[in-house]
Amino acid sequence: MTNYVPEPIAHPMMPVANHDEHAREDITVDIKKWMTSYIYPNDELVYERKAKPKFKKQHGRGPEDCDEVHHLMLDEPYTQMWSSIARTLQEMLWDNQGEITAREMPRLKAEAKKYLRDPKGSLTLDSNFKTPRYVDAVDIHCMPGGYQTSLTDDDLFVAGVYERGAYYYTKGMGGRRREGPGTAMVNAIRNFYPEFSPKRILDVGCTTGGTSTSIASAWPEAEFHAIDVGPAVMRYAHARAECLDQKVHFHLMSGDDMSFPDQSFDLVVSGGVFHETSVKGARGMIKEMRRVLRSGGITMHYDIPFGGAFNIHEQFMLNWDCWYNAEPFWRQWTAWDRTDFLIEAGFKKECVVDTWADRDRHGNFAFFEKPFDETHPSAQGGTGRVQFFGAKK
Ligand SMILES: C[S@@+](CC[C@H](N)C(=O)[O-])C[C@H]1O[C@@H](n2cnc3c(N)ncnc32)[C@H](O)[C@@H]1O
C-alpha cells in the first residue's frame, strides 16, 4: 500500500511496536485513509440519488434533520458496508495498541521510575478522588480501559495505549512527536492575541500531556499546571513530561470542580475534551475555567466541529462516532454553537473568538473564519476540520 504513515518519533515513554505490530498499524491506517478518500464521499450520492427520493415518496417531504438521515441510511447496504468496516478498524487499531503496550509495560514502568527520581514538576493524586460517571461508564471510542482504568498504583496501561494509539487514530496528523495540537493551540493564541505572554497556564483534560508539553515549551518561563480525571494517564503524563525535560504540575482533579483559587491563571486551555463530556459536565467545566481565569486572561480550546455549519447528510456522517464508536456525547456537542457555549458561561460576545482550522499537506495548521473557505491554501475540506474557540475575560 502507498499511504504509509511514518512511525511516531519515540521518546522514552512511548510504547515501541515490533515488526508485526507496526505492520498492523500500517494496514489499519491505510484502510482508514482509503475510506476517507474513496468510500465516505460516495455515501452522499447514495443518499441523494437513492435514499432521499425513496423517503420523499413515502413521506411527501425530504428528511429534515441528521437523525432522520441516520435512520434512513441504516437501510442502505453501502452505508452498512462502510459502517461495519469503520467499526472493525477502530477495534483493530486499539486492540493492537493494547498488545503493544502490554508487551512494553515492564520497560515503560522502569523508564517512569528513572525519570521520576528527581522530578522538575510534580504529580498530586487524591486517593478519595471519584472519576465522573460520564467518563468511567464507557470505554470511550473503543479504547480498551478508556481513560479511567488504573488497576495498580503504578499502572500505565491506558496511557500507553492512548499515547501511541492517538497518533494512528488521527492518521499521523497529530505530528510525529504528537506536538501538532499543542503547536496549533499556540498558533491560535498568537494569531488572536499577538502581545499575550502568560505567566500561569492551566490545561484541562490533558490525558498524557501531549498538548501540555507543546504549550509549555512555547512559554518556558510560565508556571504550567495540567489536570485530568484518570490516575494512570496522570502518572504517565508526569513521567512523559519529565523525560521531555518539561516542568509541569499535574493534578488528578475534575475540570468542573477545581481547587484552584479564583483568578489564578492567565491562560486556560483544553483540547478535545468537551465532545467527550456530558452537557452538565461541559457547562460546569467552562464556568470553572472562567472562574480560575484572571480578568484580561485568555481561554482557548480546540474540538471537533460544530455540525450546524454542515448539511444534514454531512451531519449524519460527522455524528457516526456517537452511534457506532462509543462517543455518547459527540452528537450533543456537534449541535452546540461555540459562541453560545462561551456566552452562557459568562464571557462577553465581543470578547469571543470562534474559528476553523485545517492542515496543509505538510501538516501545518492554518486558521480561517468561515468553515467553507475552500480557497484557503490549507483547506482540505470536510468534517475532519477542527474548530478553535476562546475568549478574553
Ligand atoms: C480527547 S482527551 C484530551 C486530549 C488531550 N488534551 C491531549 O492533548 O492529548 C479528553 C480528556 O478529557 C478528560 N476529561 C474528561 N472529563 C474531564 C473532567 N471533568 N475534568 C478533567 N478532565 C476530564 C479525559 O479523562 C481525557 O483524558
pLDDT digits (tens, 9 = 90+) for 204-216: 999 999 999 999 9
CA of 207 to the centre of ligand 1 (A): 5
Residue 386: pLDDT over 80: yes
Residue 1: pLDDT over 60: no
Each domain of the chain, given as residue ranges in start order, spans 164-392
Residues near ligand 1 (Cβ within 6 A): 132, 135, 147, 181, 204-207, 210-211, 227-230, 233, 254-256, 271-273, 276-277, 281, 285
Over residues 28-53, the mean pLDDT reads 93
Q: Whose CA is nearest to atom 10 of ligand 1?
A: 273
CA of 228 to the centre of ligand 1 (A): 6
**Portion of the chain with pLDDT greater than 90, in percent:** 78
Please report, for the chain, how many H helices and E strands are present, in that order: 15, 9
Please identify which residue in the block is written with the cell numbers 482540505: 380
Over residues 273-298, the mean pLDDT reads 97
Instruction: State the chain's mean pLDDT as an integer.
Output: 92
Strand order of the β-sheet with 265-271 is 122-124, 249-252, 223-228, 200-204, 265-271, 293-303, 386-392, 352-359, 365-368
Q: Parallel, antiparallel, or unpaired for β 386-392 and 293-303?
A: antiparallel
How far apart CA 240 and CA 123 sit, in angstroms, is: 12
CA of 230 to the centre of ligand 1 (A): 8
**Portion of the chain with pLDDT greater than 70, in percent:** 93
Over residues 105-114, the mean pLDDT reads 98
Over residues 266-283, the mean pLDDT reads 97
What CATH architecture does domain 164-392 belong to? Answer: 3-Layer(aba) Sandwich (3.40)
How far apart CA 298 and CA 342 sit, in angstroms, is: 12
CA of 125 to the centre of ligand 1 (A): 16
CA distance between the termini of the chain: 50
The secondary element (H helix, E strand) that includes residue 390 is strand 386-392
Residue 2: pLDDT over 60: no
CB atoms within 10 A of CB 295: 7
Lowest mean pLDDT among 59-63, 212-216, 333-337, 380-384: 380-384
Name the pTM for this structure.
0.95
Residues 137-147 have pLDDT tens digits of 989 999 999 99
CA of 177 to the centre of ligand 1 (A): 19
Q: Whose CA is nearest to atom 9 of ligand 1?
A: 210
